[in-house]
Structure 1
C-alpha cells in the first residue's frame, strides 16, 4: 500500500506484516466462525438454514432484476470488505488504547519493534563505569538479547561506603547498566542517579545503590537482586556481575609503588606496569560464562582501561571463554587518554596492556575513533594531562587486529568533554556485524 493511502488504513495494514503472528489467527478465527455456523446448521437439521437461504435467494433474484449483476456483485463485495476493515480497525484501535500509555507510539509499531529486537543477535558486552552504560543505551534499540558483564572492583564513592559498611558487592556500575537497559530509561536514570545531599548516613549515596543494597539483603545475594530489579524495571537483556567474589584491585607502578584499591590507582598519577586483584583468580559467575559461550557478538569497552575493562579480564574463566569464542570479538578503544591510567597511550598500547593481563590475543577487531575532537576539547584535556588516543595503524595491524574506523564521539560544548555517542556507536557496530554475519 503506497504512501497515498489513508494513514488509518496504512496503520491497520501494519498488523499484516510478517512476524507479528496476527494473520494466522485471523484465518483461524474465520475458520472457527465457519465451523460454528456449519455445526449449528447440522444441529438444527438444516431446516431454518434452508428457509433463510431460500429467502436470501428470492431477495437476491429480485435485486438482480433491478440492478445488473455486474454492478450489484462488486458493490456487495466492496461493502463486505469495508465492513471487515472497519470492524477490525475499531477492535484494534480499542485494543491499542487499552494497552499503550497515552501519547506513546501505536501498539502495532511497538510490537514490530519488539519482534525485531527479540530476533536480534545475542550480544555480550563487558566493562564498567559510564562507558559500558553508554554502549548499552544504544545497543538496546537493536536487540533484546543483551548480556552486560560488569566489574565489581569499585571501592570509591557511594559504592565503596556500602561495600565497607554493609558488606555487599559494589552496586554502582550495575546500577548504571540497569538504568541504561530499562524501558523507561530517562526517568529511571534520573531516579537511580539521584544522590542524597543531606541526611545523616544518606548524604552522598545514590538512590539506585541503596535500592540494590536493600534487594541484595532481601534476596540473599547480588545476582538475585539484579534479576529482581530487571523484572521490575523491564530491562531489555540481563546484567551480570563478572564474579561474586569480593575483589580488590592493586597496581604496581614504574616507580616501585604498589597502589591498592580501584579508586586509588588513578590518584597515584603513576605509570602502571602491572595490575592484579585479590583474590588472585576469582571464580566467574556461571551465567556469565554461559552468556559468552552462546554469544553471537562479544564487545569489550569502552571504559577506563585499568579500572573498568581489565578487571573483568582478571577473572581467568572469563578470559578463557572469550579466547575460545568463534564469534566476532571487538575491543572498543577509548577516544581519550586518562591521567593516572593511560597518559600517552596509543591504540597499540591499550592492546598490549590487555595482552599482558590475558597472556594472549582475545580480540579480532578494534574500533577506533576516526577523527580527533575539536581544538577546544583537546586544549581542555591537555590541561589535565590527557589527549586524543592516536592510531598507530602499522603496529596494530602487525599485532593481528582488524580495524573499524568511525566517528562515534560527541562533545559537551559547555564542558568540552568527549564521550562516546550511544546511538552512533551502536549503529556502527551493528552495521559492521550485519556485513560480516549477514544479519539485519
Structure 2
C-alpha cells in the first residue's frame, strides 16, 4: 500500500506496477489548486488532479489513450484553459456515480488498472494549518503560498459547516489492515501526505498496523513547507501529528545534488537538499536505509524509481522471509 499525493506518488506506483506488485494507492482529496481547484469550486467535486495521475501510473492502456487522458488544453482556449481531459472525465463520472470513490472504481475498470486506487474520502476535504506565529489558514494552495513555518495541519469536510468528523472510505481502512507494507511518500509533507493521515481512522489504522511502515524521505526541501528540514525533521512532524513513533524505516538519499544542475526557476517549489540527521532518526526508532536514490532529470532532482522500488521489495522480502 502507498499513501500520498502530488507528483512523487505516481512515479513509485509505476515502478511497483512494472514489478507486478499488488498495489493499493490511497490518494489525498484535499488539493485545491490549478485545474483541480477550479473544477472543485465550479461543480463541487473532489479535486481530480492527483487521482488522474495515479490512474495513468497504474493503467495498462496504450500510450496514446493515456496521452489523451492527460492532455491539458492550451491557455488560449479560454473556457477549457488549463484543464486536463482526465480531470473533466473524473468530475463527470463523480456526478454520474454520486461520489469520487465509485467513479474511480468505474474508471479503474475502463482504464485496465493493475491494482487498486482509493480516494481517501468520498467528499472534498479542506486542509487547515496553524503556523508557528499563531495564525491559521485554510486551503492547500493558500497554505503553500503563505511561505510560513507550519506548526500543524488538520482536515475538515469542505461542504459541512457543522464540523462533523471526516469519514474515510471503508475500503481504505480494510486495505491498511490487510497491507504487507505501508509506504508513505514521497511528496509534500504537509499538503500531500498528512492530509491522508489526519483523518483519524486512517492515522489510527496505520499506527495499529503490523505491517512495516516505510517513509520515502524527500530529496529536496519545499519552499513554504519544509525549509531547512532534515530527514529527522520530516519524520518528527509525521510522528508528532499522529502522537507516536509509527515510522519503522526511512529511505534516505545520500547522493549529493549538484548545485549548478538545478533550475530553481523551473522547479520553483524546491529550496535545498534535505539535510541528514541519522542520530535524530535512530532516536525516533527508525531503521535508516541510506543510498543513492537520486535521478537527475530536466534540471531537477527526483527519486530514481527503479532503485527505490528495488529497496521496497527487498524490505518486503526480508520482513516476510
**Which category of TM-score, normalised to the shorter sequence, fits these structures?**
over 0.9
CA distance in 2, matches of 1:185, 1:401: 41
Q: Does 1:418 align with 2:296?
A: no
Alignment: residue pair count: 313
Measured in 2, the distance between the counterparts of 1:188 and 1:310 equals 32
Are residue 163 (structure 1) and residue 40 (structure 2) matched?
yes
Aligned to 2:28: 151
When you count helix as a share of all residues, which structure comes out higher? 1
Residues 196, 203 of structure 1: 8 Å contact kept:
yes
Contact kept? 1:194, 1:206, Cα under 8 Å: yes
Helix, strand or coil at the partner of 1:265: helix
Where relative contact order (Cα < 8 A, 6+ residues apart) is larger, the structure is: 2
* 1: CA distance, partners of 2:306 / 2:63: 15
Deviations 1:323-380 (A, max 9, x none): 1111111011101100000000001110111122111122211111122212324684
Give the distance between the partners of 1:223 and 1:287, measured in 2 at CA.
Answer: 10
Residue 419 of structure 1 deviates from its aligned partner by: 1.2
Structure richer in strand, relative to its length? 2
Matched, 1:357 2:235: no
| Equivalence for 1:225 | 103
Structure 1 position 328 matched with structure 2 position 237: no
Q: Distance in 2 between matches of 1:140 and 1:385?
A: 28
Residue in 1 that maps onto 2:289: 404
Q: Distance in 2 between matches of 1:149 and 1:334?
A: 18
Q: Aligned pair 1:317/2:317, yes or no?
A: no
Compute the displacement of 1:144 (Å): 4.7
In structure 2, runs of 5+ residues without a counterpart are 158-162
Give the match for residue 305 of structure 1.
189
Runs of 4+ in 1 over 3 A off after TM superposition: 184-189, 377-385
Asked if residue 367 in structure 1 is aligned to residue 245 in structure 2, the reply is no
Match of 2:160 in 1: none
Match of 1:395 in 2: 280
Gap runs ≥5 in structure 1? 1-123
CA RMSD of aligned residues (A): 1.9
With normalisation by structure 1, the TM-score equals: 0.68
The alignment's TM-score, normalised by the length of structure 2, stands at: 0.92
- 1:136-215 equivalences under 5 Å are 136-184=13-61, 186-197=63-74, 198-215=76-93
Which segment drifts farther, 258-267 or 189-198? 189-198
Q: Distance in 1 between matches of 2:3 and 2:66?
A: 20
Q: Any conservation in 1 of the 2:177–2:209 contact (CA below 8 Å)? A: yes
Contact 1:378 1:388 in 2 (8 A): no
1:152-205 Cα distance to aligned partner (Å, 9 max, x none): 000111111111101111111000000000113743442222111143421111
Which aligned pairs between 1:239-258 and structure 2 lie closer than 5 A?
239-258=117-136
